[in-house]
Structure 1
Amino acid sequence: MQRVCFLLKVREDRKDEYRERHAAVWPDMLAALSEAGWHNYSLFLREDGLLVGYLETEDFDAARDAMAATEVNARWQRDMAGFFEQSEAADEAMVPLTEVFHLA
């Protein structure tokens, strides 16, 4: 099982709405993530907008590709695009950090 951690930056003026959106993620989006192999997926948002994502999956590239093939993910990415400082889509900007320590 791969443990994947990534960083994104939420625009300061959209943090509250970002939290609200994630308090009510669409049921079909949740189902698609599970079906695509995303497990123990968490997002943490710091007050300055730094977003830390963590998930576990058998194969991150395959899990990301599986989500990219879904219609619900396309809708979600369109709706969420304006929340981030980076210009590329959030799914494309998820660059995994290198794990340097893990306490099993």
Structure 2
Amino acid sequence: MKRVCFELRVKPDRLAEYTDEHARVWPEMLMALKSSGWHNYSLFMRPDGLVIGYFETDDLAAAQSAIKNSDANAVWQEHMADFLLDPGPSLSELTEVFHLEDQLSAGDDA
């Protein structure tokens, strides 16, 4: 399972609304994410609007393609675009540099 972390930025004057929208994500969008292969998906937000997203997937390219082609996602992205400072077409993926369980497992193998 691949772990994916990404960042985006919410407009400072839209933080409360962004949080409210994510407290009640549309059921169609929830099912689109699940059926597209996005697992264990979380968003974390700093007070300045930096959002860090995390999810796990078996196949990142397939998960991204499936969600991109989802009707629910198209409507959701249009709805959320005004909340973001840079509502670009892709996520700014972060590189994983440490994972506790991986290192513990590697130590067990030694």
Report the TM-score, using the length of structure 1 for normalisation. 0.94
The aligned runs of 1:1-104 (5 Å cut-off) are 1-89=1-89, 92=90, 94-104=91-101
Structure 1 or 2, whichever has the larger Rg, is: 2
Letter of the structure 2 residue corresponding to residue 99 of structure 1: E
Query: Deviations 1:42-89 (Å, cap 9, x if unpaired)?
Result: 000100000000000011121011011111100000000001111424
CA distance in 2, matches of 1:16, 1:10: 10
Query: Deviations 1:7-27 (Å, cap 9, x if unpaired)?
Result: 100000000000000000000
- Percent of aligned pairs sharing the same letter: 53
Letter of the structure 1 residue corresponding to residue 97 of structure 2: V
Moved more, 41-50 or 57-66: 57-66
Q: Which runs of 4+ in 1 moved over 4 A?
A: none
Deviation of residue 95 (structure 1)?
2.3
Q: How many residues align?
A: 101
Q: What's the C-alpha RMSD, in Å, of the aligned pairs?
A: 0.9
* Structure 1 counterpart SS, 2:30: helix
